[in-house]
Structure 1
Amino acid sequence: MARVMWKGAISFGLLNAPVALYPASHSDAVDFDWLQKGTLKPVGYKRVVKDTSAEVDKDDIIKAVKYEDTYVVLSDDEIKAANVKSTHTIDLVGFTDPADVSFFYYETPCYLAPAKGGEKVYALLREALLKVKKIGVALVVMHNKQHLCALIPTPQALVLNTLRWDAEVRAPDELDLPAEGLKEANVKPKEITMATELIESMTEPWDPAQFKDTFRDDIMKLVERKYEEGKASEIEEVKIEEPETTDETDLTELLRQSLQGASARTPRGVVGPSSKTPPPKRASRSSSGKGARSVH
C-alpha cells in the first residue's frame, strides 16, 4: 500500500470527514549517482554551519524565519498553532467548472481516501461532484506550506491536485513570439491547410498505456553494454548531432512529405501491440517502486 502523505479532515459546509492523502504517481526514471572523478567514490552531502563548516546533527537543526536583522525561531508546534485549522483541514472554499482552471495551474495529483468514520461524507461529496460535473477549490497546509488545490471527482476516488498560485504563473509577454494570426505570422493559407490535415491524420484517442519511457531504456542499454564490455569506469567519446532547423522559406514540400509518411510513422516512445522487445534489466539500485495507479 502507498505511504500516507498527510492526515487530517476535509471540511464541506458543516460536514467534516477524516481523510488521508496518498501519492497518485511514482517515478521510474534512471537513478544517476554522483561519483568523484578518478576514484569513483560516491559523493554525498553533509549539513554544516556555513561560516565554520562544522557538521551538524539532524537533531540539532531548528527552523527560523529571518526578520529584520535577526532570526525568529519557530518550533513545529508553534507553526501548527499559528493556524490549527489550516494545518489539519482541507478547507473547501468553493466549486467551479473544470474547464475554467487552465492547465498552467495544475501541479501534483494525490489520491484522497477516507479514514475510519469518514466513508459516508467522502462518498456523498464524490457522488455530488460527479452529478453536477464540478470540481472543488480548496486550501490546505502541508509540509509548512499552504497549497491551493482542486478537488477532482472520479468514479472511484477523489483526487486532490495541488495548484499554482496565480502570482506563480508567468505571462508569455517577456518571450519573443510570432505575431498572432496567419497573415501577421506570414503563414500561407496552403501551409495552414496542410498542417491541419497532418494534425488530423495523427489524431487518435488518448491512451497513455501506448507510451513508454524510451530514454530510460536507452540509458539502461548503454549501462548494460558498457558493463558487459568491461568499460564501466571509462568515459567514451561520442559525437552529438544537433537537430536540423527547418528552412522556413517554403514549408509546403515538407508538409506534403509529412502527410505521405504520417500513416506509416510510429512516434518514438509509442509501444505497438506487436512489440516483442523484452524490457532491459533493472539497475541494482532503482528508484521505481509500487505506487498507486495514476488517474487518466
Structure 2
Amino acid sequence: MADKAKKSGTTSPGLAKGSTRAVWKGAITFGLVHIPIALHSATAESDLNFDWLDKRTGDPVGYKRINKRTGKEIESENIVKGLEYQKGEYVTLTGEEIAEAYPRTTQTIDIEAFVDIDEVPFVYLEKPYYTSPIMKGGKVYALLREALVQTGKAGIARVVIHTKQHLAILVPCGPALVLNLMRWGDEVRTWDDLDLPPANAKSAGLRENELKMAKQLIGDMAGHWKADEYRDSFHDAIMKLVDAKARAGDSQEAVRLEDAPQAAGADVIDLTELLKRSLQGGRASGKDEGGPARKAVAKSTGPAKKAATRERAVASAGRKTAARRKPAAKAASKTKRAA
C-alpha cells in the first residue's frame, strides 16, 4: 500500500476535474503540533440517479409516507425514529436524545497513532479526501508529508464531519496528504466462516511448476496503472443518449451555487518549538479535550474566526445600508418622472 500511495501522485487526462471548493476546514493535530487544513472531495460520483416522472406531463413523481400495515398516509408530526431492538420490537428515540448522542464537533483531525502503512488492509478504506494547507500552514504540512513518506507510516485519526464521527487514515500521496475515511473494526466482516484454501502454497497443495506458470502468465499481462483506460461503459452510453436529447432542446438549466468564501489567514505557531515540546512531554492524549493540542488549534484559528465575524458584520451593514437607500432611490425616480 505504501508504494502504491507514493506512486499515485501523478495525474491523468482521464481523471475527473479537480475541485478547489473546501467541504470542511479545521486542523490536523498530533502532540502539540497543529496543521490548519481544508478537505476537498477526491472523488466524483458517477452513479446515474433516475428520477420518477409522470409520462403524460413530465411532472416529477414524489413519495408518500405510508403506514405499512394499514396502507394509509401518515402526517410527518406522527412519525418518530426507532431502532429494531429485537425482531419486530422497536425502541423509539426523541430528536433531543439523538442530538445529545452526537459527537462534539472539534474541527480537528486528531491523530492517535502512526502505523506502518502496509498494516492497513484495503477493505477498511471507504472514502478519500484531499487535504490542503491553509493559514500559512504549508511548511508544517510538507514536514508531516515527507516524514510519513520516509518512515513508511500513516496516521490513524478520528474526525467529526457533519455531526458524524469517523475513523480515518492520513496517507502521503504525491504532493498531497490524503485523508481516507475508514470503516470501524466491527463493520468489516471476518472471513473465518468462508471455505478458503490455506494461506501458503505448500498447505494449499500447489506444485512448483503450477506456481511458475501462473507467475509467468501474470508477468505477460503486467502493465502500468492508467486511470483513463478504465471507464464505466453504461454511464458513457446513457450520457450519450442524454446529450443527444439535450441537443434537441429537451433540457433544463440548473442554477449554479456560489463557492464558499475563503477563510482569513492566521499565523502558524513555531513548528520547531512545538516539536521539541511534544518530544519532551510525550505523546498528547487524543481523549484530552482541553489538552495543549486543542488549545494550540484554538489559538491559531481564533484570529481567523474574528476576521470572519468582522467580514460578516461589514457585509450585513452594507446590505442594511443598501436596503435603506432603495426606497429613497425609488422616490427620487418617481419625482423625476412627475417633473
Asked if Structure 1 and Structure 2 have the same fold, meaning a TM-score greater than 0.5 normalized by the shorter chain, the answer is yes
Q: Match for residue 33 of structure 2?
A: 15
Shift of 1:168: 1.2
| Aligned partner (choices 102, 114, 124) of residue 105 of structure 1 | 124
Q: Match for residue 26 of structure 1?
A: 44
> Any idea what the Cα deviations from partners look like across 1:153-191, whole Å, max 9, x if unmatched?
134211101111121111123334456667887877765
| Aligned partner (choices 40, 50, 53) of residue 73 of structure 2 | 53
Q: Match for residue 132 of structure 1?
A: 151
Partner secondary structure for residue 173 of structure 1 = coil
Shift of 1:139: 0.8
CA RMSD of aligned residues (A): 4.4
Is 169-178 or 180-189 further displaced after alignment?
180-189
Shift of 1:106: 1.0
**One-letter amino acid matched to 1:53:** E
Residues in 2 aligned to 1:182 and 1:17: alpha-carbon distance in whole angstroms: 46
Q: Match for residue 74 of structure 1?
A: 96
| Aligned partner (choices 97, 103, 107) of residue 88 of structure 1 | 107
Residues in 2 aligned to 1:27 and 1:127: alpha-carbon distance in whole angstroms: 30
Is 206-215 or 40-49 further displaced after alignment?
40-49
| Aligned partner (choices 142, 146, 154) of residue 173 of structure 2 | 154
Q: Match for residue 5 of structure 1?
A: 23
Give aligned pairs, total.
229
**One-letter amino acid matched to 1:111:** Y
Contact 2:38 2:132 in 1 (8 A): yes
Q: Match for residue 291 of structure 2?
A: none
In structure 2, relative to structure 1, the CA distance for the partners of 1:194 and 1:130 (3 Å cut) is closer
Q: Match for residue 8 of structure 2?
A: none
Q: Which has the higher helix share?
A: 2
Is residue 116 of structure 1 aligned with residue 167 of structure 2? no
1:158-169 pair list within 5 angstroms: 158-169=177-188
Larger Rg: 2
In structure 2, relative to structure 1, the CA distance for the partners of 1:125 and 1:41 (3 Å cut) is same
Residues in 1 aligned to 2:186 and 2:55: alpha-carbon distance in whole angstroms: 42
Is residue 198 of structure 1 aligned with residue 217 of structure 2? yes
Q: Match for residue 230 of structure 1?
A: none
Contact 1:64 1:74 in 2 (8 A): no
Shift of 1:212: 2.0
Shift of 1:123: 2.5
Q: Match for residue 309 of structure 2?
A: none
Residues in 2 aligned to 1:155 and 1:15: alpha-carbon distance in whole angstroms: 22
Residues in 2 aligned to 1:15 and 1:174: alpha-carbon distance in whole angstroms: 44
Contact 2:157 2:169 in 1 (8 A): yes
Runs of at least 5 residues in structure 2 that lack an aligned partner in the other structure: 1-18, 257-339
Q: Match for residue 227 of structure 2?
A: 208
Residues in 2 aligned to 1:77 and 1:64: alpha-carbon distance in whole angstroms: 12
In structure 2, relative to structure 1, the CA distance for the partners of 1:97 and 1:216 (3 Å cut) is same
In structure 2, relative to structure 1, the CA distance for the partners of 1:191 and 1:129 (3 Å cut) is closer
Contact 2:64 2:73 in 1 (8 A): no
Residues in 2 aligned to 1:150 and 1:70: alpha-carbon distance in whole angstroms: 34
**One-letter amino acid matched to 1:71:** L
Contact 1:130 1:155 in 2 (8 A): no
Is 6-15 or 46-55 further displaced after alignment?
46-55
Contact 1:2 1:23 in 2 (8 A): no
Shift of 1:215: 2.4
Residues in 2 aligned to 1:167 and 1:33: alpha-carbon distance in whole angstroms: 35
Is 128-137 or 70-79 further displaced after alignment?
70-79
Runs of at least 5 residues in structure 1 that lack an aligned partner in the other structure: 228-280, 290-296
